[in-house]
Every structure is written in structure tokens, then in C-alpha cells.
Amino acid sequence: MTDSVLASTVTFAVYFAVMVAIGLWTYRRTTSASDFYLGGRSLNSWVSGLSANASDFSGWLLLGLPGAIYLSGLGEAWIAVGLAIGFYASWRVVAPRLRVYTERATDARRGGESDSLTLSSFLENRFGERRGLLRGVSALLILVFYLFYVASGLVAMSVLFDQVFGLPGTAAVVLGASVIVLYTFLGGFLAVSFTDVVQAAMMWAALLAVAATALVALGGLGGAVDGVAARGDALLSPLGGTALADGEWTSTETLGVLVIVSGLAWGIGYFGQPHILARFMGIRSVAHIPRARVVSVAWAVTAMALAVLVGFLGIAYFDRPLDNPESVFLSLIQALTNPWVAGFLLSAVLAAVMSTADSQLLVAAAALTEDGYRVLARREVSPAAMVWISRFAVVGVAVAAGVLAVTSQDSVLDLVGYAWAGFGAAFGPVIVLALYWRRMNWAGALAGMVAGGTVALVWPGVDPIGLYAMVPAVLASVAAILVCNPLGPQATEQLAADFRRVEQEVAGGL
């Protein structure tokens, strides 16, 4: 065993042990479905903010984004700009009202405050839709898109284990998924949130360390810029138009406006990502949101800037183009650092993957249990029984996503792109309008989800111009809501009263 493999083995083992220890620590604090899925709504500002970051920025941050920059240059940075704007807007626009509304909306089936634990149950209660149609369709969309999303994390994990240990893809997926499932199985939302804090710190520190080390090796920022320009002038163009093919960067026919619009459109997705919105629902109170927003947005902006820089530094540093652009971060680590430092930095990549996959597993399991089993069972289930049912649902979703990861031929960024557009279009417009439009009803919400989700799924196969699916899918969702909302019932007095109560509580809490 080489020093490099030994160091990585030890650091990965220590990291795995810490994650499982946190799962065991939170195990006894998880006694009900509310604890398992939202941590009893007890997160403070720092944990909520950093957990939102870690659950959002998966292996995409350390593998996908630097790889996209390495492949196509500065034009891909519009994704980071769009995400920064969207992330801030989601904390500002969605977080306060969603935190209050999910707790205060009248339960559509039993009356009284609902304390909705999932987006699907919130939508049912928000619109007073008792037949289960809205809840069932939204839960189905969550399951479908999360299979792609969790699979993207497992694909990223296989890239990491192949690069470090030469481990076959299937073995890497099984090993990584097993650890994720173990601590999520034990501690649910609290385990996921507290591990997220550790993982967010590791991701940010790793990006900074690699960027700084590469800059020193290249003789500073000037040397890096010269190195990139030598590979191709268009790599530094914000309008894009470059791609890596046959060992060199060449011009493409991509239109600049499409590059910008498609990149910025990624930011819209934040309004509809259930695993991120769960952090808004689980924060202790509305009063904790402003500080959480500052912590979260500051981390996100600086981390994405470092990831973009790492992509460019890889272009300048390596004499021969890499076979896999998404391995640029890993390749820089192995080329620039000693084995023990490399072991820590590589474990940060593992942290990035796991910090998102665990959150997504949890939300998908909630769709199966809270929005599936509990509704279909039509009987009361004890809190302890629901926790165990939820734990085994986590295992089931992980197995299905693992099969997809092993059989998929798509890249990390492609898989993330499918799921991100699907959630953003299916839920983003519906959630925002549900929070701010008093007259919206279940007919408009259902039409918006179906239209947005469908277009997001089919657009990549029929796209004639290279436009990211988020744009047409969101437009389709908004149009469907506006067209179909008049066909639904008017808001009852109870629904109107809930809306006014939420407005007043949010205004008083901020």
C-alpha cells in the first residue's frame, strides 16, 4: 500500500467514524416523525445556515462546477452567479413565510394547526385539498427527481473512489451509500444537520487550500491568467463559446445570450428544492432567519468563487488536458500536496457528496412515509413506529438510487441538472405563489406542478437551441397556474384566515 493510499484510507476512516458518532449522538433525541424529518424545528441560525449550504452544494461544487469551468471556461460561471442570486432570494422571500405557514396552516383532514412535516403535506393543508390528489402528485414528483439527485451524488462518490483507490464504481457506490444510510438511519434530520456543519467547514477549507496552493505553484494570479490564455483566449470570455475536444480547447457555436440565460436560470431552482426548504422549515423561529441568511449566503458566494478559480487553475497547471474534466479538483490535490494533506482534502470531497445525499434521502423517505404510507394507511400510527418505518424507507430509496447510479452514463452535472430543473419548475412557482397569493387554489397548484415537472423531464430530449430546461419549464408552470387557477374553488374563510395569520406572524417575528 502506497503512502497516498494509506493516508487517504486513514483520513476517510476517521471521517466516517465522526459521521456515525454524530448519528449515534442524535439517536436518542429522535423519538417522533417531527424529530426525524425536521429535528423538532430546533435548529439555530448557524446550524440552519451551514446545513442549507452543505445540503445544497454537493459533489457538484467540488467536481461538477470546477469541471464545467475546466471544460468550457468562464461562460459556465454564470451558473454560480445565478445560484448566488437565487440562494439569497430564497432566504429572503421564501424562508420566513414557509417557516410559519408549514406550522400554522389548518390541517385539511383533522382541523387545528397542521405542523406540516413535508412540502406535500403543506400544499395539501395550504389549499384545503382533502382527496390526496395534490399530496400524491407532489410526493411522486419528489421521489422521481430525487432518484436522479441522489444518484448524482453516488456517481460523484464513484469518481472519487476510483481516483483515490482505483475502486470499481459499484463497490464505491455500495461503500459510500452504506455510511450515509447508517447515520441518517440513526439520527434523521438532526444527524444530517449536525454532520452538515462539519462537512460545510471541510468543503470550504479544502477549496481555499487547493486554490492557494495552486496559485503559489503557478507564480500568482498573473501566472494563472497567462496559463489559461495560452490554452485558448475564449476561455476567459463571459459569453462562453469554448469546449474541450480531442485534447484541446476549441471554439463552439454556442450563443452568448443562451449561455447567460441558462446559467442564471439555475438560481430559480432554489425556490423549489425540498431538501433546502426543509432547513427553512426546521429553523427555531423566524427571528433566527436573518442571521442564518448572512451565514449561508456568505459561505455560498465565497465557496462558488473558489470553485470557479480551481477550474481555471487546473487549466493553467496541467500540461496535458485531463481525460475527465470533473476530476480537476482531485487531480490538483494529488499533484500539489503531500499524502496526508491530500487525504484530508479528498475527504472534503466525500463530505460534499454525503452532505447532500443524506438530506435528499431523508426528504424522499418522508415522501414515501408521511405522504404515502401514513395517508394510505388511514389510521393512527405511533410516533415510534413512524420513526422505524421512516428509517427503512431511507434504506429503500438509497438502494433504488444506487442502482440508477451504477447503470447511468450521465455526468454529475447532467444528473444534477435534471433534478434541479425538475424541482425548481415543479415546485418553485407553486411555493412562491402559495405563500404570497391569497386567491391561489389547489387546481392552479396541481397544474403548475404537473406542467413544470413534465417540461423539465422532456425538454432535454427535444431542446433545439441548447437552453437549460429550467427556463421553459418554469414558464410552463407559471402559465399553467394562471390558466387553471380560475377553474378551482375560491378560498374558504378558514384558508383566508390562515393567510392573514401567517402575514401578521412573519411581520412581527422579523
The model's pLDDT over 397-446, given as tens digits with 9 standing for 90+, comes to 888 888 877 776 665 556 677 778 888 999 999 999 999 999 999 999 99
The pLDDT assigned to 437 comes to 95
pTM listed for this prediction: 0.88
The pLDDT of 323-333, averaged and rounded, is: 87
The CATH number of residue 160's host domain is 1.20.1730.10
- pLDDT, mean of residues 193-219: 92
Query: Is 210 part of any domain?
Result: yes
Domain count for the chain: 1
Q: Who has greater pLDDT, 216 or 130?
A: 216
- Calpha distance 29→206 (Å, rounded): 31
Mean pLDDT estimate for the chain: 86
- 215 vs 353, more confident: 215
User: E-assigned strands of 50-109?
Assistant: none
Q: Does pLDDT of 159 surpass 60? A: yes
Determine contact, residues 75/254, Cβ cutoff 8 Å.
yes
What pLDDT, on the 0 to 100 scale, is given for residue 43? 92
Q: Residue 113 in contact with residue 106, Cβ under 8 Å?
A: yes
Q: What is the pLDDT of residue 337?
A: 87
Identify whether the C-beta of residue 329 lies closer than 8 Å to the C-beta of residue 310.
yes
Asked if residue 271 belongs to a domain, the reply is yes
* C-alpha cell belonging to residue 21: 458518532
- Comparing 174-183, 212-221, 332-341, which segment has the lowest mean pLDDT? 174-183
Q: What distances in angstroms separate CA 483 from CA 27, 313, 456, one per listed residue? A: 47, 49, 19
- What pLDDT does 447 receive? 96
Range name among 132-146, 158-172, 174-188 with the lowest pLDDT average:
158-172
CB of 321 within 8 A of CB of 247?
Answer: yes
Reported for 328-334, long-range contacts at CB under 8 A and 24+ positions apart, including other chains, are 328/66, 328/67, 328/70, 329/62, 329/63, 329/66, 329/67, 329/210, 330/63, 330/159, 330/160, 330/163, 330/164, 331/163, 332/210, 332/213, 332/214, 333/210, 334/4, 334/163
* Spatial separation of the C-alpha atoms in residues 191 and 37, rounded to whole Å: 10
Instruction: Give the per-residue pLDDT at 99.
Output: 96
In a domain, 423, yes or no: no
pLDDT for residue 414: 67
pLDDT of residue 115: 86
Residues 6+ apart with CB under 8 A from 189: 30, 35, 36, 37, 38, 39, 278, 282, 362
The continuous run of DSSP H or E covering 250 comes out as: strand 248-251
Q: Which domain holds residue 293?
A: 3-412
Say yes or no to pLDDT of 388 above 90: no
Tens digit of pLDDT for each residue in 127-139?
A: 998 888 898 899 8
Answer whether residue 160 shows pLDDT above 80: no
pLDDT 10s digits, 240-276: 667 777 677 777 766 567 778 888 888 888 999 998 9
470, part of any domain: no
Comparison of pLDDT for 310 and 341, the residue scoring more: 310
- Of the chain, the percentage scoring pLDDT greater than 90 comes to 36
pLDDT of residue 476: 96
409/52: higher pLDDT:
52
Whether 150 is in a domain gets the answer: yes
Q: Domain for residue 72, yes or no?
A: yes
Residue 298 pLDDT grade (very low, low, confident, very high; cuts 50, 70, 90): very high
* pLDDT (0 to 100) of residue 256: 67
What pLDDT score does 436 carry?
96
CA nearest 206: which of 3, 354, 13, 352?
352
Query: Phi/psi class of residue 12: alpha, beta or left (left: φ > 0; alpha: ψ in -120 to 50)?
Result: alpha
pLDDT mean over 151-169 = 76
The listed range with the strongest mean pLDDT (106-120, 173-187, 229-243, 467-481) is 467-481
Query: Average of pLDDT values for 189-211?
Result: 92
Given a cut of 90, is residue 332 above it in pLDDT? yes
Mean pLDDT calculated for residue range 443-453:
95
Cβ atoms of 38 and 280 within 8 Å: the answer is no
Q: Is residue 505 part of a domain?
A: no
Q: Is residue 497 part of a domain?
A: no
Of 5-9, 67-71, 223-227, the range with the lowest mean pLDDT is 5-9
